Structure 1
Amino acid sequence: MGLEPLGTDFSALVQALSATHQQLQAQAARSVDTALVLRNWLFGWHLVEFENASARRQEVYGKNLVDKLSAALSSQGIKGVSPTNLRLCRSFYESFQKIQQTPSVESSATAPQPPDLNALKAQLGLGWSHYVVLLSVSNVQARSFYEVEAQQASWGVRELKRQIASGLFERLALSRSKNEVMALAQVGQVLAKPADVIKNPYVLEFLDLPEHPTYSEHQLELAIIDKLEHFLLELGKGFLFEARQKRFTFDDNHFYVDLVFYNRLLRCYVVIDLKIGQLTHQDLGQMQMYVNYFDRHVKTADEAPTVGILLCYDKNDALVELTLPQNSNIYAAQYQLYLPSKEELRQKIQEAEKAWEAAQ
């Protein structure tokens, strides 16, 4: 009797095995990366414990400890133990000393023991490349924020670098109180109220538009649609795109909202109007009409009130404050087409800190 011909069932089998291989291969790669993170943290722990154990060791080895250690480990065939990498491991441990030691039941003279691997793994949830990038952030609060956000939002290394370069922590901090900034560092960005989605400013360098507004609002809108994935990342958590040039009719007049989003965390519509020139009170009044229309004719009873954002190249805070009622769900936020410098963000943070102190 001859063999049955292999048909579509065989193809399905091949696909199933291929998918299984790819899934487990990816899992194996993640396991290797996790092991590398744990190893490097523990390398740092051992280095610091050794150096701190006695002044005698510092006298004997001094600055040559890392070089000697690198040579000894390399002779055993261990990879990734160059002097530069070992110093990086030490910095990694010193910057992420988050693992609480369990009090020893033995004598206080007993040598310190490294943390439990399971406890260590639970608190170091990113890949090694992520932590190398995080080590470039000197501000402890900012570094903690980026670590939390990278884990919660599953940022890749490229996304993490971009958010750090754009000063996401500093931009969020500028629209928050001192206590809220501390919360940012501990738990990341939490959307509890409409104001939590606002950044100051929004950085749109990925649009590749000229820095000076020689483009039209239509061109700005098209550039955003073309780079919608990047724009959603810049908007932040929970945003879903719904429409552009959303039309509604009132009194036989047609009106068009530039961009309409929905935030699933706040459970509300977010309407965005783009302005390339000086913001005027007419612009604010028009946005108020957009928000009112969505609240009365689009949102359902169980959804939160609509949020309106005027994304403008230049704005006058005094005009915004005078025009809009208190507790308004409308916000005017600036955008810029280049990554902010560290000095620029530092100056803005210092101004915010002075405002916090004055308010106390």
Structure 2
Amino acid sequence: MAKTTTIQLFKNIQALVEQSKQELYVIANTTLTETYYHIGRLIVEHEQQGSNRAGYAKETLINLSAKLTPVLGKGFSVDNLENMRKFYVVYKDDYTKHITKNQKSEPAVRKLKKIPISETVSRKSSNIPISEPLVRKLELSPFKLSWVHYLLLMRIENTVERKFYEIEAAAENWSKRELQRQFDSALFERLALSRNKDKVKELSKKGHVIQKPSDAIKDPYILEFLDLPQQDFYSENDLETAIINKLKDFLLELGKGFLFVDRQKRIKMDGDDYKIDLVLYHRTLRCFVLIDLKIGTLKHQDLGQLQMYVNYYDEEIKDEEENKTIGIILCKNKKESTIKYTLGKGNKQIFASKYKMYFPEKQILKLVREQ
């Protein structure tokens, strides 16, 4: 066994304690959420056995809170108990299906593995090794998010929409704040706008799956976090600077898989210098993504210029094993006919999306999608 220094011993013990704390957080989070679910179940079952008179359910919660709070603490107010009850009502079918499925499947032999768990406030957690019994318990639980996530999700009435946000929050390790923003910015409606009904249903089963360039595109993009005025008295340079200053938020709004590479990327052709506003890379699609920012209405010259940048990257920059470069123009306004006749039917690399500095009206987006 290799000899360790006192400093290394300190670091090893510190790492072990920190790991144990994270493991405790993981199991406590799952256990707490399941406990609240079963409290909700007990309340509903009690109500079903009791009186049908008006006010009976409310009286039950008031009396229950009065008895539980002195013994168990502040977490059992009438409002919290009502949330637990609603949690059971909303998720009982999903819970039953999940448990039934796991009972039918034969448990496989598992090694120590790493499981990412979503946090309540910030992305501080990392993948941590967890013992086999704990892994099994977490796998059996249908609840992969924290209680505060479910408090938000329960308010989403549309089952398809709610399931989509639940899948994405778990897969992308969204904090509660990030989940709230994605919901407020109508991510589901924006993705659904470019999909038929069958594809929309897939969003609730698999989340946002990216298989081709168009899957990674939203329209519009919501940039309220830039804190720029909605009027037109900021420049394209102001817009770019604001994006760089809030790069993490911008990448979150773009969606999964985007990585920042460069800004104002200089390229030279025939002695002339050109600058690409933003250069990104998409991990899933394995390609460069070039973004051009326009504060006004999109023009056909803008599309032609971006096409030139994309062609240059395909010829001069990308490796053979990488896929073709994608170009995205973010503009204040656009005309579909300009895009259609400039790019042609075979276009699969250039996209034009509007950006907005405020959250969209969800009902309007729903009406547009239904039409």
Q: TM-score range by the shorter chain?
A: 0.7 to 0.9
Say whether 1:336 aligns with 2:353.
Answer: no
Say whether 1:348 aligns with 2:365.
Answer: yes
Q: TM-score of the superposition, structure 1-length normalised?
A: 0.86
Mark the structure with the bigger radius of gyration: 1
Percent identity (aligned) = 44
Alpha-carbon distance in structure 1 between the residues aligned to 2:157 and 2:57: 26
Contact 1:99 1:119 in 2 (8 A): no
Report the count of equivalent residues. 329
The equivalent position to 2:61 in structure 1, one of 48, 57, 66, is 66
Q: CA deviation at 1:9?
A: 2.2
Q: Which amino acid aligns with 2:59?
A: N
Aligned to 2:179: 160
Contact 1:175 1:198 in 2 (8 A): no
Alpha-carbon distance in structure 1 between the residues aligned to 2:47 and 2:334: 55
Q: CA deviation at 1:278?
A: 1.2
Q: CA deviation at 1:250?
A: 1.4
**Cα deviation digits, residues 202-246 of structure 1 (max 9, x gap):** 111111111112111111111111111111111111111111111
Q: Which amino acid aligns with 1:191?
A: I
Q: CA deviation at 1:160?
A: 1.1
Alpha-carbon distance in structure 1 between the residues aligned to 2:91 and 2:235: 47
Alpha-carbon distance in structure 2 between the residues aligned to 1:229 and 1:77: 40
SS of 1:74's partner is: helix
Aligned to 1:84: 79
Say whether 1:258 aligns with 2:277.
Answer: yes
Q: CA deviation at 1:316?
A: 0.9
Contact 2:265 2:279 in 1 (8 A): yes
Correspondence 1:234-245 to 2 at 5 A: 234-245=253-264
Alpha-carbon distance in structure 1 between the residues aligned to 2:342 and 2:31: 57
Q: CA deviation at 1:289?
A: 0.9
Aligned to 1:318: 337
Aligned to 1:220: 239
SS of 1:123's partner is: coil
**Cα deviation digits, residues 71-95 of structure 1 (max 9, x gap):** 3333543652221111100111112
Contact 2:264 2:278 in 1 (8 A): yes
Correspondence 1:28-47 to 2 at 5 A: 28-47=24-43
Correspondence 1:120-269 to 2 at 5 A: 121-269=140-288
Contact 2:266 2:273 in 1 (8 A): yes
Q: Which amino acid aligns with 1:332?
A: A
Q: CA deviation at 1:100?
A: 2.3
Gaps of 5+ in 1: 1-7, 104-116, 355-360
SS of 1:310's partner is: strand
Contact 2:193 2:368 in 1 (8 A): no
Alpha-carbon distance in structure 2 between the residues aligned to 1:121 and 1:41: 15
Q: CA deviation at 1:12?
A: 2.4
Q: CA deviation at 1:126?
A: 0.5
SS of 1:240's partner is: strand
Q: CA deviation at 1:345?
A: 2.4
